[in-house]
Structure 1
Amino acid sequence: MMDCGSTNHMEWVSLKPGVPVHVMKFGQPSPEATSTCPSKDDNLMFLVIPGNPGVIEYYEKFMETLYLANDKRIPVWGISHTGHVSTKHVDGSMKELKGQLINETSLEQQVQHKLLFIKTHIPCHTRLILVGHSIGCFIALRLLPYIDERSHHNFFLFPTIERLSSSFAGRIISTFSTFFFLIRWFLLTLVFLLSFVSSRIQSGIIRAYFGRSVIDECALRATMSIFDTSCVQCSFTLGEEELKVVNELDKDLVQKYIDRISFYYGLNDHWCPIEFGYNMKRLFPMADVRFCQDQIEHAFVLRFSRIMATIVSEWFRTIQNSMAERMLIQNSDVKLNKLRSRSSNNGTLKDEEKKGEIFGDETRYLKMNHNDSS
């Protein structure tokens, strides 16, 4: 069993100058995998796209459990949002990443960064299983047209892909939008002051905030990024943009990939109400939509990582079995059609042979009559 406290599966990647991203990896894609074997597990990879804040370390226990649940056969990678993870403690060979972050942290730029990472760091023969959470689902949905041929399946967990401002949490934020500048200023000032205290005190503050709640240790560590004002600023800015951009559902895009998307909605989700799930099922009756039965919170990475990973793993296994059955049926149909075609061709040949025999008999009969008359 891997240790959640271990960090040897995390690394910084420079997508381009001034754009570092924090990546977490469990397993590696098989070097023997080829594009001609898209159904094999050694040709697949789960890619986790986080919500907001987009710190991939929150998903460590989820990713680890998902990796182990598939017997380590399918790599599970995850990528943070640009600007959401503190680079204060980056050193050694990655020291150059500590420079000024280029202003590339908008929602569309987050989509493009994920696409750039896929193109430059994941082998082209690897087929992807995107696992989006919250706004990560919106990013994943926008990615699909760019990775159409590489997309195997997609899981959208608590998906904020429509009408974000009309959700309970969205309405509250909109109500106080007039004072948002003051709230942001106050919080950023508080974060700036707390950034000077020791990491031990910062950790104590986080633990005090969560109280007696049983929080995964990796989630506590991930929250340490809130003591970096630049990270908090990026998270705030992305949140503001989400409320403006995530409006009506892109029905055409969802329709195009509906057979490759599985949706998971919470029963009491303040960001993505269950009514959105009912509406999704109403719009697309054949959609794979599930509703939470375990009272899992929207921010499942805090307390429900193992449960959510188990759900996704078993769900994926069911989908794989269904795909295998469909493929078997299709192959059987192809073979049956070939047999019918051969049988039909054989029947035609026999008919032609019979016609030839009859024609030959008629010819011989006419010759005999001609000789008799002579």
Structure 2
Amino acid sequence: MDSEIKEEIPVHEEFILCCGIETQVLKCGPWTDLINAQIANRPKLLIFIIPGNPGFSAFYVPFAKALYSSTKRRFPVWVISHAGHALAPKDKKILTTSDDPNAQEIKDIYGLRGQVEHKLAFLRTHVPKEMKLVVIGHSIGCYFSLQVLKHAPELPVIRSFLLFPTIERMSESPNGKLATPLLCWLRYAFYVPGYLLLKPWPEKIKSLVIRMLLRRMNLQSEFSFLNILEPFCLINAAYLGSQEMMEVVKRDNETIKEHLSKEMADMVADWLKDDLSKI
């Protein structure tokens, strides 16, 4: 199973301009253009993964491959980076598409609300309107998933899964109490030193450092992690984190209740069916 996931499942990397911002999208499966694909060849559903912060898509490739394999390769699995968290390599072509004609200018695209609008803009311009969606959020991506459900009821989202959700009182959590002063007030002190330290590094040195870090974390990836040491991306991740600490306070119970259907309870019961039969 592991060798099948690693070797045989195709993952296509694209950099597109979404709302004028370079955005990395990793597409698991043979479908790379759902809009222009013939209707007969289109899958009926797209599994869409919204990452945590920092929004580095490459971290989610093993998970995306496992999902694709578990669904018998019937549905594409796409992972999108956050706006400002990925820069295209110099030799990588950046794709452009026509924006949603009804879209309004996003004033703070690197912030909390802007990231939600960024995901909505992508879904509206790169996914057919009739295609069903399964939205999976991780960490702050769960907050974005709930906002997608709240602000875009026209999207045919049939399921939304929240993995390790950070959707309330973030600054009050143990990690939040430490992160809040660092991200909200002290982050400015690291901007200039971080830029002066990391920007001059040659890509070979950055690649070597990242390989050492990944080896220590027992991780492998077929895609570049250079954005981890890119000052522009780190600054945007810190800025987003500061807004998370200040604005993600109250859980959105109304949106959760509205979309917590009986079907979800049936699905959980189905998961437990085998275990319950043994009791």
TM above 0.5, one fold?
yes
CA contact (8 A) 2:57 2:80 kept: yes
Offset, 1:103:
5.5
Partner of 2:78: 77
Map of 1:121 onto structure 2: 126
Q: Which residue of 2 is the match for residue 266 of structure 1? A: none
- Which residue of structure 2 lines up, in the alignment, with residue 53 of structure 1? 54
Matched position secondary structure for 1:132: strand
Kindly indicate whether the alpha-carbon contact (under 8 Å) linking 1:33 and 1:43 is maintained by their aligned counterparts in 2: no
Equivalent residue letter for 1:190? G
Q: 1:141 aligns with which of 133, 140, 146?
A: 146
Residues 205 and 250 (structure 1), Cα distance of their counterparts in 2 relative to 1, 3 Å cut: same
Summarize the Cα distance change of 1:55–1:176 in structure 2 as closer, same or farther, 3 Å threshold.
closer
Distance 1:93 1:135, change over 3 A: closer
Segments of 5+ residues of structure 1 without an aligned counterpart are: 35-41, 96-101, 263-285, 289-314, 322-374
More off after superposition, 61-70 vs 130-139 = 61-70
Question: Counterpart amino acid of 1:158?
Answer: F
8 Å Cα contact 2:53/2:139 also seen in 1: yes
Which of 238, 249, 258 matches 2:240?
Answer: 238
**3-state SS of 1:10 partner:** strand
Counterpart of 1:153, as a letter, is R
SS class of match (2:176) = helix
Q: For structure 2, list consecutive stretches of 5 or more residues without a partner in the other structure.
A: 97-106, 274-279
Residues 259 and 24 (structure 1), Cα distance of their counterparts in 2 relative to 1, 3 Å cut = same
Q: For residue 200 of structure 1, what is the amino acid of its counterpart?
A: K
* Segment of structure 1 superposing worse, 56-65 or 176-185: 176-185
2:22 to 20, 33, 45: 20
Deviation at 1:66, TM superposition (A): 0.9
> 1 CA distance for matches of 2:263 and 2:116?
18
Task: State the one-letter code of the partner of 1:11.
Answer: E
Q: Aligned in 2, Cα 1:132/1:90: closer, same or farther, shift over 3 Å?
A: farther
How far apart are residue 180 of structure 1 and its match?
1.2
Q: From 199, 205, 210, give the equivalent of 2:203.
A: 199
Change (3 A) 1:182 1:15: closer
| 1:9 to 2:15 alignment | no
Contact 2:47/2:77, CA 8 A, preserved across alignment: yes
Give how far 1:8 is off: 6.0
**Secondary structure, counterpart of 1:12 in structure 2:** strand
Residue 166 of structure 1 is matched in structure 2 by: 172
Residue in structure 2 matched with residue 157 of structure 1 by the alignment: 163
Q: Please identify which structure carries the higher helix content.
A: 1
Distance in structure 2 (CA, Å) of the matches to 1:202 and 1:5: 29
Tell me the distance in 2 between the aligned counterparts of 1:246 and 1:317.
31
Find the partner of 1:247 among 235, 238, 249.
249
Kept in 1: contact 2:183–2:238 (CA 8 A) = no
Are 2:214 and 2:220, in contact at CA under 8 Å, matched by a contact in 1?
no
Q: Which residue pairs with 2:99 in the alignment?
A: none
Deviation at 1:111, TM superposition (A): 0.6
Report the Cα offset of residue 69 of structure 1: 1.6
Does 2:39 correspond to 1:31? yes
**Separation of aligned partners in 2, 1:239 and 1:64:** 28
Task: Tell me the secondary structure at the aligned position of residue 232 of structure 2.
Answer: helix
Indicate if the aligned counterparts of 2:183 and 2:242 stay in contact, CA closer than 8 A.
Answer: no
TM value normalised by structure 1: 0.59
Q: Is the 8 A contact 1:4 1:60 kept in 2?
A: no
Equivalence for 2:101: none
1:256 counterpart = 2:258: yes
CA contact (8 A) 1:154 1:260 kept: no
Q: Distance in 2 between matches of 1:257 and 1:128?
A: 14
After the TM superposition, which residues 1-374 of structure 1 pair with which residues of structure 2 at under 5 Å, given as runs? Answer: 1=4, 3=6, 9-16=12-19, 18-27=20-29, 28=31, 31-32=39-40, 42-89=43-90, 91-92=92-93, 94=95, 104-145=109-150, 146-148=152-154, 150-174=156-180, 176=182, 180-181=186-187, 183-185=189-191, 189-209=193-213, 212-218=216-222, 221-222=224-225, 224-259=226-261, 318=270
Root-mean-square deviation over aligned CA pairs: 3.4
1:261 Cα offset (Å): 9.4
| Larger-Rg structure | 1
Matches of 1:71 and 1:7, distance apart in 2: 14
What is the distance in 2 between the residues matched to 1:109 and 1:167?
24
Contact residue 58 and residue 218 of structure 1 kept, 8 A: no
Residues 1:132 and 1:261: Cα distance change in structure 2 (over 3 Å): farther
Q: Secondary structure at the match of 2:130?
A: coil
Paired letter, 2:116 = V
SS at match of 1:144: helix
Structure 1 residue 129: Cα displacement: 0.4
**In 2 relative to 1, CA 85–316 (structure 1 residues): closer, same or farther, beyond 3 Å?**
farther
Cα distance in 2 between the residues matched to 1:137 and 1:72:
25
Instruction: Give the TM-score of the pair, scaled to structure 2.
Output: 0.78
Count of residue pairs brought into register by the alignment:
254
**Which secondary structure state, in structure 2, belongs to the residue aligned with residue 217 of structure 1?**
coil
